[in-house]
Amino acid sequence: MPGGRERELRRRIGSIQSTKKITRAMELIAATRVVKAMQRANAARPYARLITSVIEDLAAGGAEVDHPLLRQAPEVRNVGFIIITGDRGLAGAYNTSVIRTAERQVMAHVSEGKGYSLCCVGRKSASYFRFRNYRIDNAMSGFSDNPSYDDARRIAETVSESFLVEAVDQVELIYTEFVSMGTQRVVVRRFLPLVDTEMMAREGSGTGREGSFEFEPSPEAVLEALLPRYTEARLYGALLDAAASEHASRQRAMKAATDNAEELITKLSRAMNQARQDAITTEIMEIVGGAEALGGGDTTDVDIALASMLAGTDASMPTAAGASPA
């Protein structure tokens, strides 16, 4: 039946157009969120920097402590992992690349005969590892696109707790680092045990401060109060980076989806226009053929039939000939 193919193509174009509307909307939303997430990450930087500089001062002041968070286990038997992914998909490779790195890490430790303990942050990592029958000790979600400091504190407390009771001897933090709008990369960082203060001081900005600080109550007491805050601040920074990365990835993925939809619509419109022209040509041929068979050479009947048909399809003919995809 002529026109059947045309109708089918028209339906497909319609459905791609509505998909495109959705991806376009998601792209725009992600674009505004990524800006906000970057601002939050920047606003959080002074605190992290200052905490590090306080640690530098403590190192300069000669604080020596045997804090449980600094405990270096002689033999690492169980490794904890904090895996930070998003709650929702449609963000390109964002979730899968974190999950893939995490799984490889877990496998590497398991093959060395160590135990593992997973702390999944974000719904995506939790559902992935749950489906594959990994044992998940902690799963937290619902804040991946807008993490608060309280969320960071909750995670840091849970993980520090299991480190302090020696359920794990080492904790790795796996998240996506936000380098720039165009670049985000998955990183694996040692979360616990904390490296000693001198190492932390060296990791910091190294501004060469003087070592004549007065401490109250004592360098050791300050450091002891400081270390839990330091872990929280680090985790908070990671969460903010991950959130910014998630939005940036989603924006990019949705932009690609929108572009693809546009391309597909162009292609399908061309195919549709061609199908319509084919149908019209076939129809004309049928009429001409039929009229010739009836009239037996009398051309006036054919002309009349053709003229009436052209008048009927007048509206669609010029566009069909023009084949404009817009």
Partner 1 sequence: MAVELDVELVSPEEVTYSGSAEMVIVRTVEEGDIAFQAGHVPFLGVLAPWSVDVLRPGGERDTFAVHRGFVEVSHNKVTILSDVSEAADEIDTTRAETARQRAAEALAVDAEDVEAAAALERAELRLRVAAA
> Residues in contact with partner 1, total (CB under 8 A)?
34
Instruction: Answer for the pair 61, 184: CB distance below 8 angstroms, yes or no.
Output: no
Interface with partner 1 (CB under 8 A), residue from 94, 128, 178, 236: 236
Q: Is 233 in the site for partner 1 (CB under 8 A)?
A: yes
Establish if 71 lies at the interface with partner 1 (CB under 8 A): no
Nearest residue to 171 via CA among 223, 216, 243, 234: 234
User: Taking the complex as a whole, how short is the minimal distance between the CB of residue 163 and partner 1, in angstroms?
Assistant: 20
Instruction: Transcribe 239-286 into DSSP letters.
Output: HHHHHHHHHHHHHHHHHHHHHHHHHHHHHHHHHHHHHHHHHHHHHHHH
151 sits near partner 1 (criterion: CB under 8 A): no
Q: Is 213 in the site for partner 1 (CB under 8 A)?
A: yes
Two structure tokens written together for 286: 């049928």
Nearby residues of 132 by Cβ (< 8 Å), 6 or more positions away: none
Residue among 44 and 140 whose Cβ is closer to partner 1 = 44
Stretch of residues binding partner 1 (CB under 8 A), selected from 68-76, 92-100, 230-238, 258-266: 230-238
Q: Between residues 121 and 233, which has the closer beta carbon with respect to partner 1? A: 233
Question: If you write DSSP's letter for every residue of 76-129 in order, what string do you get?
Answer: --EEEEEEE--SS--STTHHHHHHHHHHHHHHHHHHTT-EEEEEEESHHHHHHH
Considering beta carbons, is residue 193 or 219 the nearer one to partner 1? 219
Q: Which of 4, 14, 43, 299 binds partner 1 (CB under 8 A)?
A: 43
Residues whose CB is less than 8 angstroms from the CB of residue 320 and which lie 6 or more positions away in sequence, other chains included: 273, 276, 277, 280
242 lies in the binding site for partner 1 (CB under 8 A): no
164 binds partner 1 (CB under 8 A): no
Contact residues for partner 1 (CB under 8 A)? 40, 43-44, 46-48, 50-51, 53-54, 57-58, 61, 148-149, 152-153, 209-210, 212-217, 219, 221-222, 225-226, 229, 232-233, 236
